[in-house]
Amino acid sequence: MARRRQLYEGKAKVLFEGPEPGTLVQYFKDDATAGNGAKSGIITGKGVLNNRISEYLMLKLHDINIPTHFIRRLNMREQLIREVEIIPLEVVVRNVAAGSLSKRLGIPEGTRLPRTIIEYYYKNDALNDPMVSEEHIAAFNWAAPQDMDDINQLALRTNDFLMGMFTAVGITLVDFKLEFGRIWEGEEMRILLADEISPDNCRLWDSKTNEKMDKDRFRRDMGRVEEAYQEVAKRLGILPESGNGDLKGPEAVQ
């Protein structure tokens, strides 16, 4: 079979042309980077796990009427998604202080935040994804204020749902990063949740021990990275206790 045309290669994923107009194939690589590419490596099996974890979480979000780009998983490393126009923002939702928030504001990692905080970063590798405010977003027309209302609401609903889901399996959802995209249906524009939700872009800590179960293990050279991703999948009930070999078949949204 002829290989599909590659449209984009990012740090952790590749996008190919989809089988029908308006669709893309999202391929999950094992490559990992941190610090905007300053550190790079391979986490064996990461792509397979993230494909499966992201599928599972996007389907659960779809069930509570959060619109996502996910259509269905195609195989171990690929999923079919809707083609969207990506809004050039990384939307970070935080429940517990960690990472750049702790560093910038001197709040010790692990401090529960008095309320959920949403931050925005302008997606631009050359500028190191600088933090921006809704004022910048409106002024430079990256998203309209009405779009930001939708994005904020979707981000908070996603947080509430994921927090509950992870709490139920003994995991604290410390923070995570979302990306959103636009699709047009005739005259109507809709905002969808895009990209992926996985231990690559969430901070997940064991609720009892606070042990890290996410990409910080790679960023901070803590070892046992793949095992941590596997444990997240096991706790969500995606991976059988025995390991990686017996993944459930794909489920379709539509």
In which residue are the tokens 């990012």 written? 10
What number of other Cβ atoms are within 10 A of residue 239's Cβ?
Answer: 23
Q: Which amino acid, one-letter code, is at 81?
A: I
Distance in Å, CB of 47 to ligand UDP, minimum: 16
- The reply to whether 55 sits near ligand UDP by the rule CB under 6 A is no
Binding region for ligand UDP (CB under 6 A) out of 80-88, 97-105, 160-168, 223-231 = 97-105
- The reply to whether 99 sits near ligand UDP by the rule CB under 6 A is yes
The residues in 122-141 that bind ligand UDP, with binding defined as CB under 6 A, are: 129
Residue 100 or 146 with smaller CB distance to ligand UDP = 100
Binding region for ligand UDP (CB under 6 A) out of 60-68, 132-140, 165-173, 175-183 = 175-183
- The reply to whether 100 sits near ligand UDP by the rule CB under 6 A is yes
Q: Which amino acid, one-letter code, is at 240?
A: P
Q: Yes or no: say if 175 and 99 are a contact pair by the CB < 8 Å rule.
A: yes
- The reply to whether 176 sits near ligand UDP by the rule CB under 6 A is yes
- The reply to whether 175 sits near ligand UDP by the rule CB under 6 A is yes
The residues in 189-208 that bind ligand UDP, with binding defined as CB under 6 A, are: 201-203
Count residues binding ligand UDP (CB under 6 A). 14
- The reply to whether 150 sits near ligand UDP by the rule CB under 6 A is no
Q: Yes or no: say if 34 and 42 are a contact pair by the CB < 8 Å rule.
A: no
Distance in Å, CB of 129 to ligand UDP, minimum: 6
Q: Yes or no: say if 14 and 5 are a contact pair by the CB < 8 Å rule.
A: no
Q: Residue 204: what are its φ and ψ, rounded to 5°? A: -125, 120
Give the chain's end-to-end CA distance (angstroms, integer): 25
Structure tokens that stand for 75 in this block:
């195989």
Handedness of CA 64, 239, 179, 217 (dihedral sign): positive
Binding mask 1-30 for ligand UDP (x = CB under 6 A): ------------------------------
Structure tokens that stand for 134 in this block:
């809704």
Residue showing the smallest CB distance to ligand UDP in the complex: 99
Distance in Å, CB of 130 to ligand UDP, minimum: 11
Beta strands in the chain, from DSSP E residues, in sequence order = 6-9, 13-17, 23-28, 31-34, 39-42, 70-73, 78-82, 85-86, 89-96, 112-122, 131-132, 171-178, 180-185, 188-193, 202-206
- The reply to whether 180 sits near ligand UDP by the rule CB under 6 A is no
43, 53, 71, 92: which one contacts ligand UDP (CB under 6 A)?
Answer: 92
Query: Using CB under 6 A as the criterion, which residues of the chain lie in contact with ligand UDP when the complex forms?
Result: 90, 92, 98-101, 129, 175-177, 201-203, 215
